[in-house]
Chains A and B, each alone.
Chain A
Amino acid sequence: AQSVTQLGSHVSVSEGALVLLRCNYSSSVPPYLFWYVQYPNQGLQLLLKYTSAATLVKGINGFEAEFKKSETSFHLTKPSAHMSDAAEYFCAVSSIQGAQKLVFGQGTRLTINP
């Protein structure tokens, strides 16, 4: 079975500060890993994905994530937060062997302070 744990249901940073959202996964087979963002009253938008090509993955809006197999982690970072980054962020895992099923974490609400 696969699972995702997002550490911290709420993260608050100042505008211009580093954003770090933590995600740890559990998977018995090589995983695909994803970060999605959800703005209020909207669906999910893909930020970036790890599919075994490179361990450091760059996504949209200046976000990036690093896959660390030894730590079973896929933390999301952005060097400088912008007010528009305020949203809910979800980490998800999917199996290479499985159907197109994503297992999501509980989400982390990111607040940006002016």
Chain B
Amino acid sequence: DAGVTQSPTHLIKTRGQHVTLRCSPISGHKSVSWYQQVLGQGPQFIFQYYEKEERGRGNFPDRFSARQFPNYSSELNVNALLLGDSALYLCASSSLPLAGPQGELFFGEGSRLTVL
């Protein structure tokens, strides 16, 4: 079975540009979460979507937005890119909306964004 897939794997943008990152969850999973991992740090929560509704939002500016489609895939959009947005963006899927005994997160390999 395919795991969580993310695209693109690597991309380079310049300051001020816009970027769209894509994520396909594990088949049957209805929850998708996005995390930002800056080099040398732990991942930071950006968004969670479950059944196409936003269930949680981290402390990120409005330049960051996301959505989930009817097939449960998701996009993360970042506008007006800054140098500090350079990071590994991780997508995770789960079968349940909440963390718990069965609510395991399965992570993709990430999209590495470099902003010049």
Interface string of A68-81 (1 = CB under 8 A from B): 00000000000000
Instruction: Give Cα distance in the complex from A43 to B98, angstroms.
Output: 21
Are A95 and B99 in contact, with the CB atoms below 8 A?
yes
Interface string of B48-89 (1 = CB under 8 A from A): 101000011010000000000000000000000000000000
Are B98 and A90 in contact, with the CB atoms below 8 A?
no
**Which residue of B4, B44, B56, B106 contacts A99 across the interface (Cβ within 8 Å)?**
B56
Output the nearest chain B residue to A44 by Cβ-Cβ distance.
B107
Known: A99-B56, A102-B45. A43 touches B94 (CB 8 A): no
* Interface size counted on chain B using CB atoms at 8 A: 32
Residue ranges of B at the interface with A (Cβ–Cβ < 8 Å): 4, 31, 33, 35, 40-45, 48, 50, 55-56, 58, 90, 92, 94, 96-101, 103-110
Output the nearest chain A residue to B54 by Cβ-Cβ distance.
A99
Residue ranges of A at the interface with B (Cβ–Cβ < 8 Å): 4, 32, 36, 41-46, 49, 51, 53, 90, 92, 94-96, 98-107
Are A43 and B110 in contact, with the CB atoms below 8 A?
yes
Known: A32-B100, A90-B43, A105-B42. A99 touches B48 (CB 8 A): yes
Output the nearest chain B residue to A41 by Cβ-Cβ distance.
B109
Are B45 and A101 in contact, with the CB atoms below 8 A?
yes
Output the least CB separation between B115 and chain A (Å). 19
Known: A41-B109, A43-B108, A43-B109. A103 touches B45 (CB 8 A): yes
Instruction: Give Cα distance in the complex from A98 to B94, angstroms.
Output: 15
**Which residue of A42, A102, A104, A105 contacts B109 across the interface (Cβ within 8 Å)?**
A42
Are B43 and A100 in contact, with the CB atoms below 8 A?
no
